[in-house]
Amino acid sequence: MLAGEVYDATADALVQELNAMKDLVWEYNRLRPSQMAERTALLKKMLGRCDDDTFIVQPFYCDYGKQIRLGKRFFANFGWTVLDEAFVTIGDDCFIGPNVSIYTACHPIDPVERNTRQEYAKPVTIGDNVWIGGSATILPGVSIGDNVTIGAGSVVTKDVESNTVVAGNPAKIIRRIQPSNEKK
């Protein structure tokens, strides 16, 4: 699965792993917002990498959890959904708006093949200082550079270069930016 090869999504070991994570997700989503220490401890148990400054507003949904690697000072708002059949790597100082989805799972286009429950996955990589607006969707295999803003409701189907603002469906560059620490 992590090698990007075709795999059986109904394999017993994968289903057991998914169900174990779904139990942890269920537990996380039922913690009181004021239970900050418990929330952080559970995120550290669920995710492949996060720190004490990671803040994910409930509800949060993921498949395996351990393939999600978050940088420093990460924030995600309500309804963040990650299908992490492949690695999802996110840099430092990233902000995720409400109802954002990141997908790595891919399915065959041919319906006969799709109905065999065979699938494959492509990783998603997001750089530092990225802001993803509410209800945006990031599709499998996409890499997003540093200092990027993705407009609300966008569907990101292709790689996004650093220092840009993208929006739309499919998302396209609408502006280039120069971060203030780079201005002369």
* C-beta separation of 146 from 128 below 8 A: yes
Tell me the C-alpha distance between 45 and 112, whole Å. 38
The closest of 165, 90, 152, 154 to 123, measured between CA atoms, is: 90
User: Among this protein's residues, is 12 annotated catalytic?
Assistant: no
List of residues 6+ apart from 180 with CB closer than 8 A: none
Q: Which of 49, 69, 72, 107 is catalytic?
A: 107
78 burial via Cβ count (<10 Å: 0-12, 13-18, 19+): middle
Task: Tell whether the torsion through CA atoms of 156, 122, 164 and 79 is positive or negative.
Answer: positive
**Interhelix angle 36-46/12-29, nearest 10 degrees:** 170
Q: Annotated catalytic sites, by residue?
A: 107
